[in-house]
């Protein structure tokens, strides 16, 4: 197989379907070979049945929509803060010195340990869940943006100044356009982080959301419901990722 060789879309789709099929096959074999599989590892059909029951017997759609709302707002807020801060840190050394060491300190803090404090500060509503997703995402995104901005070719920046542009215009007309494709990819990765922090955000004092369903089902050993909720998170993440990736070629046709 040659490196970087392109393949037809149908072949790509077939290989993608094959990977999911292999996953389901291994899952089915393991569930059939395990004693008490209904408790420890329900089969795909059992999980599908449990998921259907969640839609029938409880307002599972509302839980899904609540989680989607929290992830979307938390991610959007993190991107809105991280991109301008990262751009400034990557292009101005005083801002870098002011931001990066403190950001490095914050991004290594365990987000789960902040849940009790966040409940004390903002209560148990959506603001607390969104805040946890924001904190888990923003401090990871800042250094990625800063590193991208720092790699802008110096001759492009110097050319901007030679043509009489101010620092603000160089930032907006040279640095930002050069960084945009990579920043778009970083945001796509950060969206995955936002989804990964969803269950952490809904771990304590939640009354809705997929994380709440998982925790509640775990308490009553409803493994099918737990796995169905986890699969829904995975499918939503896949959907968001594909929707994020879809307009990339139109946004950046020169790549």
Structural domain span for residue 112: 47-251
Arithmetic mean of pLDDT over the chain: 90
Integer Cα distance of 1 and 68 in angstroms:
39
Confidence label for 180 from pLDDT (cuts 50, 70 and 90): very high
Name every residue whose Cβ is closer than 8 Å to that of residue 120 and which is 6 or more positions away in sequence.
Answer: none
Q: Which of 92-96, 101-105, 160-164, 230-234 is least confident?
A: 160-164
Q: What's residue 32's pLDDT? A: 86
| pLDDT digit string, tens, across residues 212-250 | 999 889 888 899 999 999 999 999 999 999 998 888 888
Q: What's residue 239's pLDDT? A: 93
For the record, the structure tokens of 138 come out as 């923003």
Evaluate whether residue 2 is within a structural domain.
no
Nearest to 74 by CA among 245, 195, 247, 218: 195
Confidence label for 179 from pLDDT (cuts 50, 70 and 90): very high
- Tally of structural domains, the chain: 1
Q: Phi, psi (5° rounding) for residue 30?
A: -65, -40
Evaluate whether residue 61 is within a structural domain.
yes
Confidence label for 119 from pLDDT (cuts 50, 70 and 90): confident
Evaluate whether residue 39 is within a structural domain.
no
For the record, the structure tokens of 128 come out as 């607390």
Evaluate whether residue 234 is within a structural domain.
yes
Which of 199-209 are b and which e, b meaning 16 or more Cβ less than 10 Å from the residue's Cβ?
A: bbbbbbebebb
Evaluate whether residue 30 is within a structural domain.
no
Phi-psi region of 45 (alpha: psi -120 to 50; beta: other; left: phi over 0): alpha
Model pTM? 0.88
Evaluate whether residue 21 is within a structural domain.
no
For the record, the structure tokens of 45 come out as 């059909």
Evaluate whether residue 32 is within a structural domain.
no
Q: How many residues does the chain have?
A: 255
DSSP string covering 67-124: HHHHHHHHHHHHHHHHHHHHHHHHH-HHHHHHHHHHHHHHHTS-GGGGHHHHHHHH-S
In a 13 Å sphere around the CA of 25, the CA atoms on its Cβ side amount to 6
* Residue 115 belongs to domain with CATH number: 1.10.3720.10
Evaluate whether residue 191 is within a structural domain.
yes
């Amino acid at each position: 197989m040659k490196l970087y060789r392109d393949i037809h879309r149908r072949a790509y789709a077939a290989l993608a379907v094959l990977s999911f099929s292999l996953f389901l096959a291994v899952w089915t074999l393991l569930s059939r070979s395990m004693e008490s599989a209904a408790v420890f590892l329900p089969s795909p059909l059992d999980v599908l049945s449990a998921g259907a029951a969640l839609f029938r017997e409880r307002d599972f759609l509302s839980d899904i929509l609540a989680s989607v709302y929290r992830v979307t707002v938390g991610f959007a807020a993190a991107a809105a803060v991280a991109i301008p801060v990262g751009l400034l840190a990557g292009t101005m050394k005083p801002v870098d010195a002011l931001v990066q060491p403190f950001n490095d300190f914050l991004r290594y803090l365990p987000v789960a340990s902040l849940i009790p404090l966040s409940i004390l500060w903002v209560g148990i509503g959506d603001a607390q869940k969104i805040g946890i997703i924001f904190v888990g995402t923003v401090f990871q995104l800042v250094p990625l943006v800063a590193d991208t901005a720092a790699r802008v070719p110096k001759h492009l920046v110097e050319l901007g100044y030679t043509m009489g542009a101010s620092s603000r215009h160089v930032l907006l007309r040279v640095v930002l356009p050069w960084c945009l494709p990579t920043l778009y990819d970083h945001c796509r990765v950060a969206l995955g982080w936002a989804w990964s922090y969803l269950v952490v955000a809904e771990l304590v004092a939640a009354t809705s959301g997929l994380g709440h369903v998982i925790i509640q089902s775990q308490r009553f050993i409803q493994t099918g419901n737990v796995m169905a909720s986890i699969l829904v998170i995975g499918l939503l993440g896949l959907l968001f990722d594909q929707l994020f990736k879809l307009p990339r070629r139109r946004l950046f046709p020169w790549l």
